């Protein structure tokens, strides 16, 4: 990545941080401004925030190996197709299968609620503790696959256009619940 792209990316992350920032957070050091503290990509030590992270999700009577599998499966109400998505060997393959199912007619309206339901199931116990430990950070699903709905794409074309970041917003909502 060139230095110029790095600059653009940094500027985008900082704009997002300001937008999502609470004015102050309390941490071990006392009250500090929170505006520039952000987890901008769900990888490395923050991979557990990604929907691809392995964790058992029991939803609608089906056991899924990742949140991604569950989310892709509930795009359809056809039980055979749901099972087919659940059986994908990787979350990437589940995502691919999710593009081929018969979409529920209400999907555009239902998808945020479904993601919320699945994340609520995912973030219990240890994972919820890990999520709570990110409390002083804004969560933004920075990506390079042009997803401006669930995250905020960092490619050259999108880097100056903030994404809606609904995945990050849902995670922060659950974290504060
Ligand atoms: Zn993009």
* Centre of ligand 1 from the C-alpha of residue 155, in Å: 4
Mean pLDDT for each 10-residue chunk of the chain (177 residues)? 63 64 39 62 95 98 98 98 98 98 96 97 97 91 93 90 93 94
Helix (H) or strand (E) holding 17: helix 3-20
Torsion on CA atoms 48, 51, 53, 54, rounded to nearest 10: 130
Enter the tokens of residue 11: 């500027």
User: Residue 98 has what pLDDT?
Assistant: 98
Are 171 and 161 contacting, i.e. CB atoms less than 8 angstroms apart?
no
- For 11: left if phi > 0, alpha if psi spans -120 to 50, otherwise beta; the answer is alpha
Q: Any idea what the Cα angle at residue 11 is, between residues 6 and 115, rounded to 5°? A: 100
* Centre of ligand 1 from the C-alpha of residue 57, in Å: 29
Domains and CATH numbers, the chain: 3-47+136-176 (no CATH), 49-126 (1.10.357.40)
**What protein residues have CB closer than 5 angstroms to ion ligand 1?**
146, 153, 155, 158
* Centre of ligand 1 from the C-alpha of residue 142, in Å: 10
- For 145: left if phi > 0, alpha if psi spans -120 to 50, otherwise beta; the answer is alpha
Enter the tokens of residue 173: 């909502």
* Centre of ligand 1 from the C-alpha of residue 95, in Å: 18
User: Residue 38 has what pLDDT?
Assistant: 85
- For 52: left if phi > 0, alpha if psi spans -120 to 50, otherwise beta; the answer is alpha
Helix (H) or strand (E) holding 152: strand 152-153
**Cα distance between residue 66 and residue 54, in whole Å:** 5
* Centre of ligand 1 from the C-alpha of residue 58, in Å: 32
User: Residue 5 has what pLDDT?
Assistant: 61
User: Residue 24 has what pLDDT?
Assistant: 39
User: Residue 37 has what pLDDT?
Assistant: 82
**Cα distance between residue 172 and residue 139, in whole Å:** 7
pTM above 0.85, yes or no: no
Q: Which positions ≥6 away from 136 have C-beta within 8 Å?
A: 25, 27, 32, 34, 37
* Centre of ligand 1 from the C-alpha of residue 146, in Å: 3
* Centre of ligand 1 from the C-alpha of residue 154, in Å: 6
């Amino acid at each position: 990545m060139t230095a110029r792209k790095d600059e653009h990316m940094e500027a985008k992350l900082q704009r997002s941080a300001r937008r999502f920032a609470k004015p102050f957070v309390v941490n071990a050091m006392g009250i500090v401004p929170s505006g520039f503290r952000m987890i901008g990509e769900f990888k490395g030590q923050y991979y557990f925030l990604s929907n691809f992270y392995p964790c058992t999700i029991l939803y609608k009577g089906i056991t899924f190996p990742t949140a991604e599998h569950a989310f892709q499966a509930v795009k359809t109400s056809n039980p055979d197709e749901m099972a087919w998505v659940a059986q994908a060997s990787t979350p990437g393959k589940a995502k691919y299968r999710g593009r081929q199912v018969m979409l529920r007619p209400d999907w555009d309206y239902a998808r945020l609620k479904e993601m919320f339901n699945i994340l609520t199931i995912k973030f219990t116990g240890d994972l919820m503790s890990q999520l709570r430990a990110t409390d002083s950070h804004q969560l933004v699903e920075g990506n390079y696959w042009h997803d401006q709905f669930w995250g905020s794409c960092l490619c050259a074309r999108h880097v100056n256009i903030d994404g809606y970041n609904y995945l990050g917003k849902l995670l922060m909502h659950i974290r504060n619940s």
